[in-house]
Amino acid sequence: MDPLARYEPLLDDYEGFRAACERPLPAVVRVNGIKADRERVRGALDETGVGWHADQWHPDLLRLETDAPGNTWPDVLGWIHGQEAVSAIPPVVLDPSPSETVWDTCAAPGSKTAQLADLMDDRGLLVATDDSLGRLAPLRSNAERLGLTNLAVDRADARHFSLDRLGIDAVDAALVDAPCSGEGTVRKNPSALEDWSESFVEGIAGLQKGLLTRAVQATRPGGTVVYSTCTFAPEENEAVLDHVLAEADCRLVEFDVPLPSVPGVTAWRDAQYDPTVERAQRFWPHQTEAGGFFCAKLEVAG
């Protein structure tokens, strides 16, 4: 089965979508404001002879004219960090403040974690969990290189993580950038769909529902939870939101980022979803010239 063909009914330009999925992604980095500002980074890249231009939606994202941004000295010094353009959406939508306690539930290898710390001015408390010991190693390495000091890292399955370990009852905000089937990463990783199956999509959706439910439970009334994936599958996106809206005391809220997007879908095959899932946003590769992405913002009832 062709995994991408199943999404033709959802698309305005199916051929454009297929063509975009076959184009390689540009090398994009995020300026790490904890160590350097964007002007300093841009000057350093100019001195290094690496061409760049600002990404279309965020001035701290730079598209570099190199296939190896990690080999540049601004990267070695922690001034920049490789991060796909759409990957920067969830921290911006969460918009944490320096005084808050924030939980990044599925943090490794840490690009969004580092962006959250930057948005928090490296203050407050940022808790990063992941259940993979192997993935925590690069998270810790990246945190050290990027100069993150407000970070607490713990190996844990977020579905069962107890805030008692931190001596707190609730967090102010949480990010659930969930493990997923990864369909939207096909431009970066052409082999991403080789082992794809509908049974895998259905299975991982159960994990996603558990992660998002726990994040909502752990967030204070009035707090914010952002849910995101890099897949096109409604089973992993709108269906997960539909489940959590029915199980937990929260609501979806609208948000705005300056990237082309379309609303979440309220029906897929034989399923009907809560109409408020339209407040989520789908980012298609042919519309953004980036990877595929899905993002939703929830407010915990207070």
What positions carry a catalytic annotation?
Answer: 230
Tell the burial category of 56 from Cβ atoms under 10 Å away from its Cβ (0-12, 13-18, 19+).
middle
Tokens 């009852």 locate to: 169
Sign, Cα dihedral of 156, 160, 164, 166: positive
> CA-to-CA distance for 298 and 248, rounded, in angstroms?
11
For the chain, the farthest-separated pair of C-alpha atoms sits apart, in whole angstroms, at 57
> CA-to-CA distance for 258 and 210, rounded, in angstroms?
30
> CA-to-CA distance for 216 and 105, rounded, in angstroms?
11
Sign, Cα dihedral of 70, 73, 76, 79: negative
> CA-to-CA distance for 242 and 212, rounded, in angstroms?
11
Q: Tokens in use for 233?
A: 């599958």
CA distances from 80 to 74, 210, 290 (A): 6, 33, 19
